[in-house]
Amino acid sequence: MHGGGFVVLSSHTTQNFTRKWANSLKIPVFSIDYRMAPDHVFPQAPNDCFQVYKFLTTQLYKYMKIKPANIFVGGDSAGANLSCAITTLALKNQLVIPKALYLAYPPVNMAYTYYPSRKYVLNDPLLWPTMVKMFLKCYFKN
């Protein structure tokens, strides 16, 4: 799943590496475009991703003749968060569990509170604290 704070980007913006993975590993790579905030707030994004995951694990062979024996789930930033959500929902619903997760800088603590390690990201050139706060506000509509 793509990153973008649950607000921006798409599967198109991650094609530079998802295509390389598919070609070099010679496996199908499915990239999910989930509905984004602020028009679609939590829990729309994890629900969208889970519906795709459920389809891939239960219907993929029927429609594409691909046996989903080894499923790997991954994403960057918001996509990494959604990867964790998919895995949790798969466990809860007794579906096939991913063989592995690829989590690039996952936001697993979605509470926007101060803690000492936050001081290391205050000067981040791409994702400054006000932007993170805006993303969370859009995603949770608070």
Which carries the bigger pLDDT value, residue 142 or residue 140?
Answer: 140
Is 6 inside any structural domain? no
Mean pLDDT over 25-38 rounds to 95
Assign 142 a pLDDT band (cuts: 50, 70, 90). low
Q: Do 80 and 7 contact (CB within 8 A), yes or no?
A: no
Count of the separate structural domains present in the chain: 1
* CATH number, domain with residue 132: 3.40.50.1820
Q: Which residues pair with 101 in a beta bridge?
A: 73
Examine residue 17 and state whether it is found in any structural domain, yes or no: yes
pTM metric for this prediction: 0.92
Please state the separation of Cα 54 from the chain's center in Å.
Answer: 15
Range of 56's domain?
12-140
C-alpha distances (whole Å) from 88 to each of 58, 67, 95 are: 17, 22, 10
Q: What is the DSSP string of 57-109?
A: HHHHHHHH----SS-EEEEETHHHHHHHHHHHHHHHTT-PPPSEEEEES----
